[in-house]
A = this chain, B = another copy of it.
Amino acid sequence: MGFNDIPAHVWPRSAVRNAAGQVEIGGVSLPSLADAYGTPLMVVDKRDFLSRCQDMARAFGGGENVHYASKAFLTTQVAKWVAEQGLHLDVASLGELEIALHADFPAADITAHGNNKSEAFLRRCVTAGVGTVVLDSFQELERLEKIAGEAGIVQNVLVRVKPGVEAHTHEFIATSHEDQKFGFSLASGSAHKAAVMAHESGSLKLRGLHCHVGSQVFDAEGFKLAAERVLELYKQLIDAVGEESLAVLDLGGGYGIAYTEDEEPLDVDEVAHDLITAVGKTAAELGIEAPRVMVEPGRAIAGPSTVTVYEVGTVKDVHVDDDTTRRYLSVDGGMSDNIRPALYDAKYDVRVVDRVVAGTPITTRIVGSHCESGDILLDSAQLPSDIGAGTLVAFAATGAYCYSMSSRYNMALRPAVVVVEDGAASLMLRRETMDDFFALEA
């Protein structure tokens, strides 16, 4: 693919390079947005976000089976979009729940996660009428039982199970134990015990089990193996808790997206079909009713909708050794607005968005403006030689885990987030100012 092409499987669905050579999203050119709102700037293609909600709902048999994972990116407006598409919502903290309730998200359609839910969070779930709480420990089971009991409410719950399956991108690891903080162990019998306790509690109503296998997963194999293991537990539980308490199987999130040109995004319809078929088949083999499959995509919905626009500042050609030169492009953001390259060695697709480039390929590293040598946004790529100070570049697929993990390192102020649709732009989140920091000072 040439430098001026826009890989459709990575970029927002409406992204095109227009006749003037500028990249447009939602019918609005990115340079005009940079002019109006400054850089760094995050631009959300609303129709892209909505269409991925619809794709997921269709693939999994209805929006009620798809819980958008707030942690990827949540604002009041995003919560409203998710509700309008008929999807349900996952929250993993009191703060995420507060945003959802602020958006009037139907509480009954919210599921609450977390390995260490505070008493305040659990209490807010119960009093606000949150549909489902995913139990993560015996302490929490007791705590929630007490809170629900005091409130005179019967709280729907799922039990989170560690199935001993860890899935990553194109591989998965199956173990008998799982060394992580979430959930109840399947192997040790803890999950079984927790399910029975939840079923027997007068203040809790067990609805099924939950498991999560990993992130950036591109095929159904890891999910399927986890589902098989969990379904065996359904069979073991069915006499003790009854079919109604096992109506749901929540397989969590982790659906992969393409960050770079050479990655293939997960085929949502195919994976959904594979998964649901496999669950049905396994259930039939076990002689039990197939539970309803639910999923929790975050990145797969929010990720591809958004790009981050930066302005290039300093350009430096560095001799790496006597024979090799690397071009360093510094942009006006960095690890404060996108920690993923530093934290996860994440890769991105980067394009010049303000004009057609004509340069030759040069080994390039894109770095941020932070006072830290590890502040690298793009470790190495062949980028055109005609990028200079003032050039606008954009990183694609920054909709998930960028803004939500953003910091103010070096007193960088969080970027503005703008929504584009049908040729119009509107501000979703304003750029931070120094007063946002000074307001915290006593």
Give me the interface of A with B, judged by CB distance under 8 Å. Answer: 69-71, 74-77, 92-96, 98-99, 102, 113-118, 136-137, 139-140, 176-182, 185, 187-188, 313-316, 318-322, 326, 328, 330-332, 339, 342-343, 365, 367-373, 375, 389, 404-414, 426-430, 432, 434, 436-442
Q: Are B71 and A410 in contact (CB under 8 A)?
A: yes
Q: If the complex has contacts A428-B441, A428-B442, A442-B426, are A318 and B411 also in contact, measured as CB distance less than 8 A?
A: no
Residues of B within 8 A of A331 (CB): 116
Q: Are A76 and B438 in contact (CB under 8 A)?
A: yes
Q: Are A137 and B185 in contact (CB under 8 A)?
A: no
Residues of B within 8 A of A102 (CB): 434, 438
A436 partner, pick from B188, B373, B439, beta carbons under 8 A:
B439
- In the complex, A328 Cα to B369 Cα: how many Å? 37
Residues of B within 8 A of A318 (CB): 177-181, 185
Residues of B within 8 A of A367 (CB): 115-116, 181
Instruction: Tell which of A75, A314, A428 has the most Cβ of chain B within 10 Å.
Output: A314
A96 partner, pick from B181, B410, B438, B440, beta carbons under 8 A:
B410
Q: Are B177 and A320 in contact (CB under 8 A)?
A: yes
Q: Are B412 and A95 in contact (CB under 8 A)?
A: yes
Q: If the complex has contacts A177-B319, A181-B330, A318-B180, are A429 and B441 also in contact, measured as CB distance less than 8 A?
A: yes
Question: Copy number in this complex?
Answer: 2
- In the complex, A408 Cα to B92 Cα: how many Å? 13
Q: Are A114 and B369 in contact (CB under 8 A)?
A: yes
A83 vs chain B, min Cβ distance (A): 16
23 sampled A-B residue pairs with Cβ under 8 A: A71-B371, A76-B438, A93-B370, A93-B411, A93-B412, A95-B437, A98-B411, A116-B331, A116-B368, A117-B313, A117-B369, A177-B322, A181-B318, A181-B328, A181-B373, A187-B319, A404-B409, A406-B407, A427-B442, A429-B440, A429-B442, A430-B441, A436-B440
Q: If the complex has contacts A116-B332, A410-B93, are A319 and B185 also in contact, measured as CB distance less than 8 A?
A: yes
Q: Are B319 and A188 in contact (CB under 8 A)?
A: yes
Q: If the complex has contacts A95-B411, A371-B113, A410-B96, are A314 and B426 also in contact, measured as CB distance less than 8 A?
A: no
Q: Are B321 and A177 in contact (CB under 8 A)?
A: yes
- In the complex, A113 Cα to B373 Cα: how many Å? 13
Q: For residue A253, which residue of chain B has the nearest CB?
A: B371
Q: Are A118 and B313 in contact (CB under 8 A)?
A: yes
Q: Are A440 and B434 in contact (CB under 8 A)?
A: no
Q: For residue A97, which residue of chain B has the nearest CB?
A: B411
A409 vs chain B, min Cβ distance (A): 5
Q: Are B314 and A139 in contact (CB under 8 A)?
A: yes
